[in-house]
Amino acid sequence: MILGICGSPRKQATDYVLHEALKMLEDKGFETEFFGVRGKNISPCRHCDYCLREKECIMKDDMYELYPLIKEARGIIMATPVYNGGLSAQLKAVMDRCRALGAAEYDFLRYKVGMAVAVGGDRIGGQELAVQQIITFYILEGAVPISGGAFGANLGANFWSQDTLKGVKEDKEGFRSLRKTVKKFAAFLEKFEVKE
């Protein structure tokens, strides 16, 4: 299963492009799941170290809906709106709360495949750093980060929304970067016969 995690608190541009990415993968025969932070209660990590002792997070909030999906997924797409030149606080909270998964199973993300999507209101608003923050999380946790490659995508999928859903739908270059990255992501998974 391929899991899309949307780091926007709104059903707007990031939600839209992530669903488009998941549709592309479904067309290629992959099973997908979507999880969005919108309307969810996901507190930031408190660094209380309860998870290191008890192998679970002390905060019984909506991360408990996401934990089993992350464990099950073979591939993950993290999509974030760009906030202050980087990823959203909501997506960062998700990443930090994965400490509890790592406490229970050190290699919880190892050998899974990850790709990144960033959606900024400005044309050059910090998408590249946001993508790198997602890729850094994958590397730290042992997942394989997938880039879209040169000539159209580079490190991942980057969108210029002009702060509207209409704007992101009109971003041809953004969709080119998405198609290229999804293609590489799917090709990697197929090479290792990961369809379930």
Tell me: does residue 84 bind ligand FMN (CB under 6 A).
yes
3-state secondary structure of 117: strand
**Contact with ligand FMN (CB under 6 A): which of 82, 103, 117, 182?**
82
- Amino acid letter, 2: I
Taking the CA of residue 154 as centre, how many other CA atoms within 13 Å lie in the half-sphere pointing to its CB?
Answer: 10
Q: Position of tokens 């760009």?
A: 82
- As measured in angstroms, the least distance from the Cβ of 81 to ligand FMN is 3
Return the residue of 35, 83, 137, 138 that touches ligand FMN, per CB under 6 A: 83
**Looking at beta carbons only, is 133 or 161 nearer to ligand FMN?**
161
Residue closer to ligand FMN, measured from CB, 12 or 133: 12
- Using rule CB under 6 A, residue 174 touches ligand FMN: no
The correct pick among 114, 120, 145, 156 for binding ligand FMN (CB under 6 A) is 120
Which residue number, 53 or 166, has a Cβ lying nearer to ligand FMN? 166
Distance of alpha carbon 31 from its chain centroid, rounded? 16
Task: Point out the residue whose Cβ comes nearest to ligand FMN.
Answer: 125
CA atoms within 13 A on the CB side of 133: 25
Q: Residue 15 Cβ, how far from ligand FMN at the closest point, in Å?
A: 6
Residue 125 touches ligand FMN, criterion: CB under 6 A:
yes
What residue type is assigned to position 6 of the chain? C
Per rule CB under 6 A, is residue 81 in the interface with ligand FMN?
Answer: yes
At which residue do the structure tokens 């059903």 appear? Answer: 11
Rounded-to-integer distance, Cα 67 and Cα 167, Å: 33
Q: Say if CB 158 and CB 178 are below 8 A apart.
A: no
User: Does the footprint of ligand FMN cover residue 163 (CB under 6 A)?
Assistant: yes
Under DSSP, the state recorded for 154 is B
Place of tokens 């030149």: 85
Q: Is 126 among the residues that bind ligand FMN (CB under 6 A)?
A: yes
Q: Cβ(158)–Cβ(181) under 8 Å?
A: no
Residues 7-36 that bind ligand FMN (CB under 6 A): 8, 10, 12-15
Residues that bind ligand FMN (CB under 6 A): 8, 10, 12-15, 81-85, 119-122, 125-126, 161, 163
